[in-house]
Amino acid sequence: MIDVEDLVDLVRSYNPNSNAGLIRAAYGYGKAMHEGQFRSSGEPYFSHPVEVAWILGEQRMDDATIVTALLHDTIEDTKSTYGEITRRFGDEVAQLVDGVTKLTNLQLGSSETKQAENFRKLLMAMSKDLRVLLVKLADRQHNMRTIKHLPLEKQQRKARETMEIFAPLAGRMGMQHMREELEDLAFHVLNAEGRSSIIRRFLTLRSQTGDLIPKITDDIRQVLQKHGIEAEVAGREKKPYSIWRKMQEKKEGFSRLSDIYGFRIITADIEDCYRVLGAVHQNWAAVPGRFKDYISQPKSNGYRSIHTTVSGRDAKRVEIQIRTRQMHEVAEAGVAAHWSYKDGQRAENPFAVDPFKWLAALTERFESAEDHDDFLESVKLEMFSDQVFCFSPKGEVIKLPRGATPIDFAFAIHTRIGSACVGAKVDNIRVPLWTRLRNGQSVEIITAEGQRPQSTWMDIAVTGRAKSAIRRSLKAERREGSMRLGRELARVAFEQVGKTVSDKALETAARLLGLGDARELLAMLGDAELTGRQVTEALYPELQHDPEAETIDPDRAMVGLSVGQVGEPAKCCQPVPGERIVGITFRGRGVQVHSIDCDTLVDFDDQPDRWIDMHWSDGKHAAEHGTTLEITLANDAGVLGRICTLIGEQNANISDMQFTDKKPDYYKMLVDIQVRDVEHLHNVMTAVEADSGVAQIARHRKAPARD
């Protein structure tokens, strides 16, 4: 176990003014509190808090953070209390220890807890003092280093939690070194064979080519010397998990992977960074599309560096990062650089991000989330994504995650702009909305009045902000549509029992059925979560027909015809049971039966003698009433098959189908189906519309034939 004097010496090495007495007191108190407790490895438990303090000491953290690390498990695991910590070590330390304790109790990765709510609590804890999270990350880092002593099931749970939550958090805070180690330690548990295979391939490569890192390092130094530039050069092999992830993303084998080596060039000032870039590109061919200037466009966590990939010795592609010493310190420590000390003083690094502003920016976009699942999705999307920087026509810089589309860009400007988006121009060229944006592009959003978010946008957008706004709009639109359809279904159901629907009747039915109000009742009717029969049964139980009644003969389905008259459903509107109908007589052609809202009826307004008042027979109808659906669907494999299956599952028969419009990305088609009644039709349409491949569905009404 690390001795207290060694810890004191480490802290004094970067902060000679450190309060050594406070650190010794915390060390002694923590050791006494944990006396008799042991880790799974058999070591004294207090060795763990000391290791956590050492990790934070290596990051040059302040005394309060070091002391918190030594005491971070005392409130939770010993008889120590918040009041005792306050009395001995002050309010600041007590609040930090209490914050770490609360984070530990969140169980962020547990499938048995509500992850989204715990993420919200995590951000709340961080908002009080970000050092709470720094201690927790160091705590997780040491636990992952010693994870082999835990049972296998617990190892896997901790590793998944680390990979999904703590590693991305470290990365989002700019602590890349910690993120890489956490990922690799978790990778070792979750896919030991995959990690071993990467290491074996590295060893094979070395045996074939020798160790290329010192050779390429010397090549770079010679180039810099030739151009009269003084700089530090260091090289390394990428971490196994980083290599594995690139192999999965690019679908390439190890031998074809380009950037398995990384080199850093650290200069004296920004001017030298660009001189180094010029020297490197003069001597080696730059790989197209692999240049990023994070000095002119820094990341939100303060990260600054120039990235370029070149074809170096033996045609091996190598990634080179160019930055100043101060930029390097922030790149290593991230947001934690705000608290780091140097020569006894808080380091005044001009590139260190204010942690409170950083945290405010992170949380601001999630405060308006309507439900916790949306919030969790947004948080994870934000944490896992690298950024691209695009420009508005006015020159405003918009930061977006990698893979973002014009839809994300539009919603990043304003929800109103995103909702009204109908197209986009990238660098003055019209592009599809699913185009992936790249760094430095200028994006112009084209809007139109009356436009609303489309369901297909959910597959195009990648940011949590855009997805949440689209989901809210679609939910509101679906609810309004469901209520309109629900009111029509209610009208039909009331007419079947000889009653007229009214707002008061609907409110009464909603109360009897235990629903909030009439709007909720109508929405449930429209969504097929409630039937019209259930509504009328609640209000008029004595008027209900026998649900077991036999199916009506199709020849007697319509009522109102005289003896000898034959009625045929009009092809223009294709009425089905449950809709109000009227007959129009034709000499020698019998009676055409139309739905009451059919446009054709306008032609007969001045011929009242040809109108016949009709209605559908009460009871259960056979599924033999034809109607046509117009469906717009994505041109993807399997979509058409799924639609046919969905219609069959609703016990509706497909009698014909034809394509009316074929485009590279979507098809339009007409599908003739046979249904029992309007409620059956609604169920079919609802089931089909719910499929992710369906953009739009509606009943097809043909243009009226003129007589």
Q: Is the pTM of this model over 0.85?
A: no
pLDDT range class, residue 113, cuts 50, 70, 90? very low
Cα–Cα separations (whole angstroms), residue 56 to 134, 137, 180, 360: 8, 10, 17, 24
In this structure, is the dihedral angle defined by the CA atoms of residues 22, 25, 27 and 33, taken in order, positive or negative?
A: negative
Quick check: helix, strand or coil at residue 517?
coil
Domains of the chain, by residue range, sit at 4-190, 199-346, 473-543, 551-707
Rounded to the nearest 10 degrees, what angle do helices 47-58 and 63-71 cross at? 160
- Which of 161-170, 374-383, 445-454, 680-689 has the lowest average pLDDT? 374-383
Instruction: Name the fold adopted by 551-707.
Output: Alpha-Beta Plaits (3.30.70)
225-246 per-position pLDDT tens digit = 999 999 999 988 778 887 777 6
**What is the number of other CB atoms lying within 10 angstroms of the CB of residue 490?**
24
Residue keyed to tokens 């855009």? 466
SS3 content of the chain, % helix, strand, coil (to 5): 50, 20, 30
Q: Which CATH code of 3.30.460.10, 3.30.1390.20, 1.20.1050.10, 1.10.3470.10 fits the domain covering 199-346?
A: 3.30.460.10
* Catalytic site includes residue 371: no
Which of 258, 252, 259, 247 minimizes the C-alpha distance to 191? 247
Cα–Cα separations (whole angstroms), residue 45 to 34, 35, 64, 75, 94: 6, 8, 21, 14, 21
Distance between CA 108 and CA 376 in Å, rounded? Answer: 11
Q: Is 703 exposed, middle or buried (0-12, 13-18, 19+ CB in 10 A)?
A: exposed
* Catalytic site includes residue 230: no
Average pLDDT estimate for 208-212:
70
Distance between CA 603 and CA 587 in Å, rounded? Answer: 16
- Which of 41-50, 374-383, 576-585, 625-634 has the lowest average pLDDT? 374-383
pLDDT range class, residue 372, cuts 50, 70, 90? very low
191-200 per-position pLDDT tens digit = 888 788 878 8
Outline where 303-438 has alpha helix (H).
325-333, 355-364, 372-384, 406-413, 415-419
Distance between CA 303 and CA 530 in Å, rounded? Answer: 55
Average pLDDT estimate for 430-444:
85
The one catalytic residue among 3, 63, 76, 370: 76
- DSSP code for 618: S
**CATH architecture for the domain at 4-190:** Orthogonal Bundle (1.10)
In this structure, is the dihedral angle defined by the CA atoms of residues 95, 96, 97 and 101, taken in order, positive or negative?
A: positive
Average pLDDT estimate for 140-157:
89
Token pair listed for 49:
């808090």
The pLDDT score that the predictor gives to residue 390 is 80
Quick check: helix, strand or coil at residue 161?
helix
Distance between CA 12 and CA 57 in Å, rounded? Answer: 10
Maximum C-alpha span of the chain = 110
pLDDT range class, residue 707, cuts 50, 70, 90? very low
Which residues are paired to 447 by β-bridges? 421
Distance between CA 397 and CA 43 in Å, rounded? Answer: 53
Distance between CA 118 and CA 114 in Å, rounded? Answer: 6
pLDDT range class, residue 110, cuts 50, 70, 90? very low
Distance between CA 291 and CA 626 in Å, rounded? Answer: 61
The pLDDT score that the predictor gives to residue 49 is 94
The pLDDT score that the predictor gives to residue 502 is 85
Conformational region of residue 237, where left means phi above 0, alpha means psi within -120 to 50, and beta covers everything else: beta
Per residue in 648-683, is it b (16+ CB within 10 Å) or e — as a string?
Answer: eebebeeeebeeeeeeeebbebebbbbbbbbbbbbb
The pLDDT score that the predictor gives to residue 315 is 63
The pLDDT score that the predictor gives to residue 106 is 60
Q: Is the separation of the CB atoms in 383 and 115 below 8 Å? A: no
Q: What percent of the chain has pLDDT over 90?
A: 22
- Which of 78-82, 147-151, 287-291, 303-307 has the lowest average pLDDT? 287-291
Query: What's the 3-state SS for 84-151?
Result: HHHHHHCHHHHHHHHHHHHHHHCCCCCCCCCHHHHHHHHHHHHHHCCHHHHHHHHHHHHHHHCHHHCC
Quick check: helix, strand or coil at residue 703?
coil
Distance between CA 237 and CA 171 in Å, rounded? Answer: 19
The one catalytic residue among 3, 63, 77, 609: 77
Chain mean pLDDT for the chain: 81
In this predicted structure, the answer to whether residue 667 has a pLDDT above a threshold of 90 is no
Average pLDDT estimate for 453-463:
86
The pLDDT score that the predictor gives to residue 85 is 92
In this structure, is the dihedral angle defined by the CA atoms of residues 377, 380, 383 and 386, taken in order, positive or negative?
A: negative
The three-point CA angle 680-683-685 to 5° equals 110
Average pLDDT estimate for 656-684:
87
Which of 320, 452, 322, 300 minimizes the C-alpha distance to 385? 300
Which of 525, 498, 500 minimizes the C-alpha distance to 513? 525
In this predicted structure, the answer to whether residue 267 has a pLDDT above a threshold of 90 is yes
In this predicted structure, the answer to whether residue 17 has a pLDDT above a threshold of 80 is yes
481-514 per-position pLDDT tens digit = 778 878 877 887 787 777 888 888 888 888 888 8
In this predicted structure, the answer to whether residue 526 has a pLDDT above a threshold of 80 is no
The pLDDT score that the predictor gives to residue 123 is 61
Q: Is 250 exposed, middle or buried (0-12, 13-18, 19+ CB in 10 A)?
A: exposed
In this predicted structure, the answer to whether residue 207 has a pLDDT above a threshold of 90 is no
538-588 per-position pLDDT tens digit = 887 766 545 444 567 666 788 888 877 888 899 999 999 999 899 998 887
Cα–Cα separations (whole angstroms), residue 101 to 68, 74, 162, 519: 11, 9, 18, 46
Which residues are paired to 445 by β-bridges? 424
